[in-house]
Amino acid sequence: MRFKGFSRRRFAKIAAWSVFGISVRPSTAAANAASGFAKAKFANFPDNFLWGTATSAYQVEGAINEDGRGASIWDRFTHLKGKIIDQSTADIANDHYHRYKGDVQLIKELGARAYRFSIAWPRVFPEGTGTPNPKGLDFYNRLVDELLANGIEPFVTLYHWDLPQALQDRYGGWRSRDTSQAFADYAGYVAERISDRVKSIFTINECARLVQAGFGTAIDAPGLSLPQKEINQVRHHVALGHGLAVQAIRAHARSGTRVGPAENMEICIPAIETPANVRAAEIATREFNAGYLTAILEGKYTDGFLAYAGADAPTFTPEDLKAISSPIDFVGLNVYMPNHYVIAGENGEGFFPLPFAATYPHMDSNWLRIGPEAMYWAPRHVAKLWNVKSIYITENGTSAADRLSGDGKIYDVDRIMYLRNYLTQLQRATSEGIPVEGYFVWSLMDNFEWSDGYEKRFGLYHVDFKTQRRTPKLSASFYQEVVKRNAVA
């Protein structure tokens, strides 16, 4: 099915190019004949490559006081003055809680076969632990059933930052290992009840961001600015929470349930692709991700990490590291931008991170540096360094200015440019045999972008937050084409 308003006929009409006032209607056939170019060939992704799209509970659901949901740290945070750029909250957000059926149809229109969403812990355990609220899980049961009825595979994330406020009040949240245990209990409870239909579970979304922005720069809930030692301890508790949750899922889920993290790893890119620089980028990847991904995949904190942290190193036991490195089935990677360009150090040893130029280009969000090759190197490093056999790109996408044009459409060519370039690099990865099994574009629709409120739009569908109307952007047609061809369009 084509999107209404983006039909070929309509394009032919708009595509009368105006060059110096002269209107020229381009003819692709004529242009091809004149150029002598061969008919376009599209570089395919592997058969069965899974195309999907993603959202998270707090960013889309709304309905924060319905059906017994408890408060989350993000409810508390958004209601504090000055924390969210446009003073907004996600009390209503996309009202997805009530509109999920329509939203499933949006996924279906893209042709996507997978949807990654998160479960709000405070819906299931309003107090974080203790008595569950069955109505909370009911919502996700309805959503899962609706997805399956429409031929869309559910991929569930258990923690996308909306910690029950009760745990923040009781334990200081992730500052305490009690929260790691509470997370595992919640994970086991959910896995037992959904694994008859949900086969793939992500534990925690973006440990790196939740620790740094929540406990360092105070941009995210709970809005703390802790000393480095405590930040390292928080990260250790999050890693422990991941590991204990993996164990709980194994203990309670049906056999065959797959589990892994979804991390925004620090992506290290060889500035020039020579063997020495590639090696340097691998060494850098291990060290820059030492507090989480490396610990999960190696069962230890690297010597470099411990030496650098010195007295600020986290307190841990060998049992903790064993739990943290519980075997996983896949690694999810949220890929947005390059974090470091590196070259080999002197005499070809170690690595040397290069500074970013002040004018380095970025997308609409100023943190979102453009570097499509991040999409090649992230999965390649993970596969090569740790012999990981199954990788998903759990998020990739961009904010864009998304102006409504005179005809009421959104021609977001900058988002298409971004996606096309990143997907080209992903295709390079899969064509070299790097085991990426699927890709989830972020995001299905515009939503609550954390401290950027509703000012930054990441969706393939535009959302009018006053009317809740969803309108496909041109990038939705682009993605539809990618999915249909199983190739970069």
Closest C-alpha among 92, 97, 152, 147 to residue 120: 97
**Cβ 281 to ligand NOJ shortest distance, Å:** 23
Applying CB under 6 A, among 140, 183, 341, 442 the residue interacting with ligand NOJ is 442
Q: Which is nearer to ligand NOJ, 234 or 444 (CB)?
A: 444
Strand partners, 441: 53, 396
Q: Which is nearer to ligand NOJ, 336 or 376 (CB)?
A: 336
Per-residue x/- mask for ligand NOJ, residues 198 to 227, rule CB under 6 A? -------xx---------------------
**Cβ 345 to ligand NOJ shortest distance, Å:** 31
**Cβ 398 to ligand NOJ shortest distance, Å:** 9
Per-residue x/- mask for ligand NOJ, residues 155 to 194, rule CB under 6 A? ----------------------------------------
Q: CA 272 → CA 268, 285, 341, 354, 428, distances in Å?
A: 12, 16, 9, 12, 17
**Cβ 363 to ligand NOJ shortest distance, Å:** 10
Q: Which is nearer to ligand NOJ, 213 or 259 (CB)?
A: 213
Q: Which is nearer to ligand NOJ, 293 or 313 (CB)?
A: 293
**Cβ 461 to ligand NOJ shortest distance, Å:** 15
Q: Which is nearer to ligand NOJ, 293 or 344 (CB)?
A: 293
Q: Which is nearer to ligand NOJ, 181 or 451 (CB)?
A: 451
Cβ neighbors of 286 (< 8 A, separation 6 or more) are 294, 302, 304, 385
CA distance 151 to 138: 20
**Cβ 487 to ligand NOJ shortest distance, Å:** 26
| DSSP character string of 304-348 | HHHHHHGGGSPP--HHHHHHHT---S-EEEE--S--EEEEE-GGG
Q: Which is nearer to ligand NOJ, 395 or 402 (CB)?
A: 395
449 binds ligand NOJ (CB under 6 A): yes
CA distance 187 to 245: 6
Half-sphere exposure of 409 (CA within 13 A, CB side): 17
Pairing assessment for the beta strands 268-270 and 340-344 based on DSSP bridges: parallel
CA distance 66 to 61: 11
**Interacting positions 391-410 with ligand NOJ (CB under 6 A):** 395
**Cβ 368 to ligand NOJ shortest distance, Å:** 8
Strand partners, 64: none
CA distance 146 to 169: 36
**What are the residue ranges of helices labelled H in 69-133?**
73-78, 96-110, 121-124
How open is the CA angle 127-95-441, to the nearest 5 degrees?
95
Q: Which is nearer to ligand NOJ, 294 or 334 (CB)?
A: 334
Q: For the chain, first and last CA: distance in Å? A: 17
Q: Which residues are catalytic?
A: 206, 395
**Interacting positions 303-362 with ligand NOJ (CB under 6 A):** 334
Half-sphere exposure of 197 (CA within 13 A, CB side): 18
CA distance 155 to 152: 10
**Cβ 206 to ligand NOJ shortest distance, Å:** 5
Identity of residue 189: Y
Residue ranges that bind ligand NOJ, judged by CB under 6 A? 56, 59, 205-206, 334, 395, 442, 449, 458
